[in-house]
Structure 1
Amino acid sequence: MTHSDVMYNQDDSIENVLENVARAHRILEMEGHGDMSMGHLSFRDPFGRGLWLKRGNLGMEEVQGKDFILIDFDGNVLEGQGLRHLEWPLHTEIMRARPDVNFVGHSHPFYATVFASTEAELGAYSNEGVWFAEHGVPRFTLTSNIITTPELGREHADALGQAEALLLRNHGASYVGKTVKDVTLAGIFLEKAAKFQLTLATSGLPYQLPPDEETQEKIETIYPERARNNFWMYFNRKLDRLEATS
């Protein structure tokens, strides 16, 4: 199939966006986010009906464009076939709180989950860490259990604030974006940044955080929109190569 740099807007067909969100699941699996049938992304319905959520009982690498259900903000299934993930309130409450967010992801990437179980702050030690420098990566510490109620969903959304990613203590990570491209890159870079910092911390070597001014410059030079587009397309090509050989 062909794929494009989908910039979410009301002119995109739902089917086209769902195909790209399905690809995002498979890309994230490829980049270390897989955990059996857990892990899920959603996107805001362009007609205000709620959000489209990956159906349950599928691994991220198995998701295709048909594997989504439409739910309203109270969790009622409006369209589609299949089980509703128990953590649907994680998605609905972020989208209630963040009108700028069109896509939400939640998964259990190994290194980010290990890092979430510490008390360390994720820093801009690597290029991937720079992605999160503006708002940081806060932690949700109220529970390490799954987010299954609107009340917990609201607490989770409050902990996220205006950030692009959230670490869930002894659980996993959530990440958001305006576009499918941005939510995918946020998930990938969170795992890479956590792996880098964990490796650095256990190296036994002295290290330091780059100065804030330098980090701000790196945001502008490493992550302009043209670079984000390029990175998204790179991961799509990488997925195509992987799936062509499987």
Structure 2
Amino acid sequence: MSEQALREDIVAVAQAIDKAGFCPSKSGNVSARFGDGFLLTPSGLPYARTKPEDLIHVALDGTVLSGSRKPSSEWPFHVAIYKARPDAQAIVHTHSPRATALSCARRGIPAFHYMIALCGGADVRCADYATFGSPELAENAVRALEGRKAVLLANHGVIALGASLAGAHTIVAEVENLAGQYLDLLASGLEPVILDAAEMERVSAKFAGYGKVG
């Protein structure tokens, strides 16, 4: 894929999550690997006005390689995840309402539904809290993402990673869907029935042969 095409795809995903209501007050960010680093959405620019040329090229040491705008304040966790996870080709971060609400209870999402396996494991963990944009948040996110493709950030939001932008986008949307279902169950007073580890392994094996999502 050319640099221009990749820039256009990043902007398209950023605008899609914004239209879905996942990015209130210009929150969230999107990136994808490019060259020796990654292309990242800028800080403070509404997604509806973001253009491909507004993206910033960032090296894996955090150095800005090109771009006239300031990179997203969350660039440290993009750097940390790309360094720790060679499988990650794209990262989507949102403040989607229901997943963020669950993160504010510092509660992850257990395997109450088999679609949890889309997120890379038997649950979606909630990472320990740290101030946004900090190295501590980056460290906490990487730790909670071990063996996973999605994580809740305590009192903050969601990170999803994928082997493609489309994969990361799909996962972040599914986390919001699952968070909503889980919150509805808890609000109803019903106790979710959690699928066991053996079943989640079976589901994961089926997903491995079902398309290339994630």
Q: Out of 203, 206, 223, which is 2:188 matched to?
A: 203
Deviations 1:128-158 (A, max 9, x none): 4342262522222142x20233x54234322
Corresponding residue pairs, total = 213
Give 1 or 2 for the bigger CA radius of gyration: 1
Q: In structure 2, do the counterparts of structure 1 residues 221 and 154 end up closer, same or farther at CA, with 3 Å as the change threshold?
A: closer
Instruction: Tell me, yes or no, if structure 1 residue 139 matches structure 2 residue 142.
Output: no
Q: Distance in 1 between matches of 2:24 and 2:180?
A: 17
Superposed displacement of residue 201, structure 1: 0.8
Could you tell me which residue of structure 1 aligns to residue 105 of structure 2?
A: 118
Q: In structure 2, do the counterparts of structure 1 residues 161 and 37 end up closer, same or farther at CA, with 3 Å as the change threshold?
A: same
Could you tell me which residue of structure 1 aligns to residue 33 of structure 2?
A: 44
Q: Distance in 1 between matches of 2:209 and 2:194?
A: 19
Are the equivalent residues in 1 in contact too, given 2:106–2:155 (CA < 8 A)? no
Are the equivalent residues in 2 in contact too, given 1:135–1:162 (CA < 8 A)? no
Q: Out of 171, 183, 196, which is 1:186 matched to?
A: 171
Could you tell me which residue of structure 2 aligns to residue 104 of structure 1?
A: 91
Q: Distance in 1 between matches of 2:207 and 2:56?
A: 39
Q: Out of 134, 143, 146, which is 1:148 matched to?
A: 134
Are the equivalent residues in 2 in contact too, given 1:105–1:174 (CA < 8 A)? yes
Q: In structure 2, do the counterparts of structure 1 residues 189 and 202 end up closer, same or farther at CA, with 3 Å as the change threshold?
A: same
Q: In structure 2, do the counterparts of structure 1 residues 90 and 137 end up closer, same or farther at CA, with 3 Å as the change threshold?
A: same
Superposed displacement of residue 56, structure 1: 1.4
Are the equivalent residues in 2 in contact too, given 1:113–1:171 (CA < 8 A)? yes
Alignment of 1:1-246 (within 5 A): 12-45=1-34, 47-48=35-36, 50-126=37-113, 128-132=115-119, 134=121, 136-143=123-130, 145-149=131-135, 152-219=137-204, 220=206, 224-225=210-211, 228=213
> What percentage of residue pairs aligned between the two structures are identical?
23
Could you tell me which residue of structure 2 aligns to residue 243 of structure 1?
A: none
User: Which structure 2 residue ranges, 5 or more long, are not aligned?
Assistant: none
Q: Distance in 1 between matches of 2:107 and 2:126?
A: 10
Deviations 1:134-184 (A, max 9, x none): 2522222142x20233x5423432232231011111111111111111110
Q: CA RMSD in A?
A: 2.5
Are the equivalent residues in 2 in contact too, given 1:28–1:60 (CA < 8 A)? no
Task: Provide the secondary structure at the position in 1 that maps to 2:52.
Answer: coil
Superposed displacement of residue 97, structure 1: 0.7
Superposed displacement of residue 222, structure 1: 10
Deviations 1:57-97 (A, max 9, x none): 22344433222010112322211221222221010011111
